[in-house]
Amino acid sequence: MLKTILSIAGKPGLYKLVSQGRNMLIVESLVDKKRTPAYGSEKIISLGDIAMYTDAEDVPLSQVLTAVKRKENGEVATIDLKKASQDELKAYMAEVLPNFDRDRVHVSDIKKLISWYNLLIKSGMTDFEEQPEAEDAAEA
């Protein structure tokens, strides 16, 4: 599911891939459901391609989002991003991913993770794990 959810540099929020055109993608905002073109010159990244730094190996974003979901019982995150201090955000992240790399994961990354999680939950997307078996069965 995360492969079709995109982050576009310079544009707020997250976007769902709707269609592909020539030299562009048609995306739909998860916030207001408006469809717009996204061009190849823009920095576009799929959430399925993002990972979080840890002390051992990088953890895919799907696993981190699932950990946040487990902590929040499938509800919107309880932490207030506007009022939370850096220490509170780091403590929250330590609860979600205890071995996250404190040097390479910045407070802005934690804020982005939580805001993305909230956007996905509000949009009704709660299944963050990829299911390759189901896709393979559908192709067969």
Mean pLDDT of 44-68: 92
Q: What is the CATH T-level fold of the domain 2-47, as seen in this structure?
A: SH3 type barrels. (2.30.30)
Look at phi and psi of residue 52 and say left if phi exceeds 0, alpha if psi is from -120 to 50, else beta.
beta
Question: How high is the pLDDT of residue 26?
Answer: 93
Distance (Å, rounded) from C-alpha 132 to C-alpha 87? 37
Question: How high is the pLDDT of residue 135?
Answer: 44
Q: Give the domain ranges of the chain.
A: 2-47, 50-122
Predicted structure pTM score: 0.85
Residue 85 has pLDDT above 90, yes or no: yes
Distance (Å, rounded) from C-alpha 95 to C-alpha 67? 9
- Architecture (CATH level 2) of domain 50-122: Orthogonal Bundle (1.10)
pLDDT tens per residue, range 28-51: 999 999 999 999 889 999 999 999
DSSP string, 26-37: EEEETTT--EEE
